[in-house]
Structure 1
Amino acid sequence: MSEQPVKIIQKATWVGSIANVALAILKITVGKITGSQALVADGVHSFSDLVTDTAILIGSRYWTAPADKEHPYGHGRFETLTNIFIGVILAIVGLGIGWDSISSIGHEPTTTPGMLAFGAAIASILVKEVLYRWTIIQAKKINSRALHANAWHHRSDALSSLPVAIAVIANYVLPDLHYLDQVAALLVTAMILKAAFEILWPAIWELTEAEADSELEQKIQRYAAGDKDIGEVHAIRSRRTGSNILLDFHLLVDPEMSVDNAHTIAENFKSHILKEIDEVVDVIIHIEPYNCAERVNNPCCGDDKCKETD
């Protein structure tokens, strides 16, 4: 990964960290002044985001490092581990919010937070939603799954502020329906846990060496069909390493062709794939003769006449 993507990761993370600190101080301070325990807890949640920010800053130094003797396929799995860490933290936060909500069901609040608490909650929602959208844009620029995961952590913070704002309004409009705060918090819990699952599952799937992209094989076959020098492509395998994909397959060419020409065809095809598919960073091609013994996609029919006219 070039220097520019690394700078984008660090810039997005530092901006998020500064926003988290500012919002945490704001929410805890206003929560203490207004007597809103929910706002104080939300402020502590904002401080928890610093944990994932730190993981991104430290992890990016490793997963952006080039391949070396100890890691010949690169260091992309460090990004996978970072995604798992963020997903776990997100799940813990979601479960914590849900547990607090369930525990407080049936308990009337001892204090009634004022509009100052509402203003702080709304400010948090707006800032964190803007931060989420901006971070998502940065993540897409460099195809960083870890930065994408951290963006969702920003949105979880915005969602966790929602029950606080609802509780304040509910106290004014429907003072007898104290449970609205808990119901809203449980809905937020479900959304946060869904985001955690969507971050964790691909990372865990990657560690099991699952295929990187179900549509990747179709793309490769389509590219091969458009190259007159390629007889067939099969045994396509792919795996993820962080945000990158490693690919290998068998490529069949005219058996009468020289090794030098076959190598040129393979290199040109490799360059085409790397140009068309941004996530693919390396391709290993095994060259084979296009004959009946090696063909898989369009096998010989076993009839002499068929072989002659094929």
Structure 2
Amino acid sequence: MQDSSEQQDIHGRVVRSATLVGAVLNIFLAVLKIVIGKLSGSQALVADGVHSFSDLATDAAILLGSRFWTAPADSSHPYGHGKFETLTNVFIGVMLVLVGIGIGWESIQTLSETPPPPPGMMAFYAALISILLKEVLFRWTIRKAREINSGALRANAWHHRSDALSSIPVAVAVIANAMFPALKYLDQIAALLVTGMIMKAAFEILWPAFQELTDARGNEDVEKQLKKMAESDADIREIHAIRSRQTGGSTLLDFHLLVDPELTIDAAHTISERFKSQILDQMEDVIDVVIHIEPYTCEERIVNPCSLEEYLIQQNKRKADKH
């Protein structure tokens, strides 16, 4: 099994290589769409090109941020630097919001002006190229993000998808204008649709990041898997008070583990350490586990509470042990 520092190093290399590929494509598409948009008179395509340029800012944030969040835990950050990845996601989301507001505001302003002539077919072909290339980039980047469980890379992948989706209204508006020249402001309306898609993508990035920064409950699937693992261990009588939280693409766990009250402290500790190692081996997302050992007594049992008969038997046994 790879150690934590080696995993972080691989994680960082994958993030940076995938981001660099996206950055090169973003430069090409941004220049293409803005130039063609100006030449063809498509405001929506120019707005879409600005959106592509905004991707470069998020690419730069990921390239810089990954140098921090992949660093191993130290005395100043004993839980690691995963929150730097979360902060990078916040930056990406805020950038999307600002770009969306700018595009939407400009579109609304031009609705009160004399409608410009309909854009030429060059705008349609540029939008089509953008849709195809950004969709391919999205699928490749999201696969890389899942391989290393990177929230920032996943956010950037959805940023690519939002760019692909935002080109669809542009292409539709060009075709509609060509078929129905009497329809006015289709290009501006397409730009407003682009704004809506950008805002949706921003929310889908910002909300999980907000949840992480406020230490909201982590992945419920991790907790379910933990319970199944405990149930299959004959030495573990019960686990409860499970708490999980996210830090970047990783999960931190702590819980109470109940064992036979007759065991020695050393034996209970051995069970706890064995179970902790099993968790870290089988749950790739979990990077740290804190276990509080408790005796399986009526006072401590929560999942399987004692019956009145069990409670009385236990109390009588304790009184006998004292005498």
Task: Report the TM-score when normalising by structure 2.
Answer: 0.88
Write the letter of the residue equivalent to 2:107. Answer: S
8 Å Cα contact 1:106-1:179 kept in structure 2: no
| Corresponding residue of 2:49 | 43
Task: List gaps (5 residues or longer) in structure 1.
Answer: none
- Residue 240 of structure 1 aligns with which residue? 246
Any conservation in 1 of the 2:86–2:209 contact (CA below 8 Å)?
A: yes
Aligned length: 309
Residues 178-225 of structure 1 deviation map (CA, whole Å, 9 limit, x = unaligned): 243344433333332222111111111111111112343333222211
Pairwise mapping of residues 1-310 of structure 1 onto structure 2 (< 5 A)?
1-105=7-111, 107-303=113-309, 307=313
Distance in 1 (alpha carbons) for counterparts of 2:310 and 2:275 = 32
Residue 252 of structure 1 contacts residue 287 of structure 1 at CA under 8 Å; is this kept in 2?
yes
CA distance in 1, matches of 2:202, 2:9: 29
Partners of 1:193 and 1:297 in 2: how far apart? 43
Distance 1:19 1:11 in 2: 13
Q: After superposition, what is the alpha-carbon deviation per residue over 1:41-98, rounded to whole angstroms, capped at 9, x for unaligned?
A: 3222211111000000001111111000100000000011011111111122223333
1:248-275 residue CA offsets vs partner (Å, 9 max, x unmatched): 1111111222233222211221122223
Q: How far apart are 1:106 and its partner, in Å?
A: 5.6
Structure 2 contact 118–178 (Cα < 8 Å) conserved: no
Q: Is the 8 A contact 1:143 1:243 kept in 2?
A: yes
Residue 115 of structure 1 aligns to which amino acid in structure 2?
M
Show structure 2 runs of 5+ residues with no match.
Answer: 1-6, 315-323
Q: Secondary structure at the match of 2:300?
A: coil
User: What secondary structure does 1:22 align onto?
Assistant: helix
Give TM-score scaled by structure 1 length: 0.92
Q: Residues of 2 paired with 1:13 and 1:184: CA distance? A: 28
- Cα gap change, 1:307 to 1:196, in 2 (>3 Å): farther
In structure 1, what residue type is equivalent to 2:8? S
Contact 2:47 2:191 in 1 (8 A): no
CA-CA distance at 1:304 after TM superposition: 5.5
Secondary structure of 1:246's partner? strand
Counterpart Cα distance in 2 of 1:307 and 1:60 = 58
Deviation at 1:24, TM superposition (A): 1.5
Q: Letter of the 2:240 partner, please give it.
A: H
Change (3 A) 1:167 1:123: same
* 3-state SS in 2 of match to 1:303: helix
**CA deviation after TM superposition for structure 1 residue 245, in Å:** 0.6
- Is the Cα contact below 8 Å between 1:231 and 1:253 reproduced in 2? yes
Distance 1:188 1:37, change over 3 A: closer
CA distance in 1: counterparts of 2:152 and 2:83, whole angstroms: 11
CA RMSD of aligned residues (A): 2.1
Native 8 Å contact 1:84 1:199 kept in 2: yes
Per-residue CA deviations over 1:144-167 (Å, capped at 9, x if unaligned) read 011010111112222232232222
For residues 20-44 of structure 1, the C-alpha deviation after alignment (integer angstroms, 9 at most, x for no partner) is 1111121222233333333333222
